[in-house]
């Protein structure tokens, strides 16, 4: 009997028994699922790669009741460069960890799947910090948590990169300092987020410190909206 074929990104692996693992797979066809995979802790196991972090592959599954088991896999992309750079590794881990928190079993979510695969490719081939910020903005938006990056959400006045401003965690919007009562932030952070969202921005205000501050703001917003912590994101911020 031919198995169920899915294109999937391996988000998480948990040991099960002596040699097996339970994988969390984000698939293009079935959404997020759990699947057992046998014998992959043995040296030289044929499917060992399929249980590795960031594996993007075509998985072949069997199904018994509500349980899936990986019976074979064909690797599409290993994202090898991520494994050789500690900063890229933690940025990629933050992508997978946040994608896991933003998706739910039994619900097809092709948008998050596509965004996560593209983010890992971008992390491999370029600036992992910008790639991570872009992913978090896009994935949060796809999950209904869009961050407003236009005018002050209270008075409608334009916000500039030189301004001191506030961020409303509940609404996901920026306000003038005097208009709001939210999370205090700077125009530098706002400017980095606008750049990563594909909006007009001021190049002179793009700094490494601004990127770090943008990630801290995204971490607070992510935690507030999902009630979950992304430990890999915290570790990546610490490394910057």
Residues in the chain: 240
- Where is 129: in which H helix or E strand? helix 128-142
- Phi and psi at 40, nearest 5°, equal -80, -5
Q: Which structure tokens are listed for 203?
A: 């190049």
User: What is the rounded average pLDDT of the residues 157-185?
Assistant: 92
Residue 19 in this model has a pLDDT that exceeds 90:
yes
The separation between CA 104 and the C-alpha centre of its own chain, rounded to angstroms, equals: 14
Domains of the chain: 4-77 (2.40.50.140), 85-239 (1.20.1440.120)
Is the Cα torsion angle 126, 100, 142, 207 positive or negative in sign?
A: negative
Residue 1 in this model has a pLDDT that exceeds 60:
no
User: What is the rounded average pLDDT of the residues 35-42?
Assistant: 96
Band of pLDDT at residue 133, cut at 50, 70 and 90:
very high
SS3 86: helix
Report the alpha-carbon distance of residue 240 to residue 94 in Å, rounded. 14
DSSP 28-75: TTTEEEEEEE-STTSTT-TTGGGGSTT-EEEEEEEEETTEEEEEEEEE
Band of pLDDT at residue 161, cut at 50, 70 and 90:
confident
Band of pLDDT at residue 120, cut at 50, 70 and 90:
very high
**Does pTM top 0.85 for this prediction?**
yes
Cα angle, residue 66 at apex, residues 140 and 78 outer, rounded to 5°? 50
Report the alpha-carbon distance of residue 64 to residue 184 in Å, rounded. 52
Residue with tokens 């046998």: 38
Residue 185 in this model has a pLDDT that exceeds 80:
yes
Provide the 8-state DSSP code for 185. E
């Amino acid at each position: 009997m031919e198995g169920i074929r899915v294109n999937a990104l391996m988000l998480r692996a948990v040991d099960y028994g002596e040699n097996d693992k339970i994988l969390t797979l984000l698939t293009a066809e079935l959404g997020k699922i759990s699947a057992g995979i046998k014998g992959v802790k043995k040296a030289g196991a044929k499917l060992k790669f399929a249980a590795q972090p960031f594996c993007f592959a075509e998985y072949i599954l069997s199904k018994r009741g509500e349980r899936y088991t990986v019976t074979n896999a064909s690797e599409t992309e290993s994202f090898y460069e991520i494994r050789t750079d500690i900063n890229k590794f933690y940025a990629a881990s933050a992508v997978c960890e946040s994608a896991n928190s933003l998706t739910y079993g039994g619900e097809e979510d092709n948008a998050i799947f596509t965004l996560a695969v593209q983010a890992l490719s971008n992390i491999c081939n370029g600036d992992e910090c910008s790639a991570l910020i872009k992913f978090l903005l896009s994935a949060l938006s796809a999950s209904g948590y869009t961050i407003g990056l236009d005018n002050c959400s209270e008075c409608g006045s334009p916000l500039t990169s030189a301004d001191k401003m506030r961020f409303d965690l509940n609404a996901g919007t920026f306000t003038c300092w005097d208009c709001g009562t939210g999370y205090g932030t700077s125009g530098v952070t706002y400017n980095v987020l606008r750049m990563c969202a594909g909006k007009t921005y001021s190049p002179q205000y793009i700094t490494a410190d601004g990127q770090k501050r943008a990630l801290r703001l995204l971490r607070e917003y992510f935690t507030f909206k999902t009630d979950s912590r992304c430990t890999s994101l915290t570790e990546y911020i610490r490394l910057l």
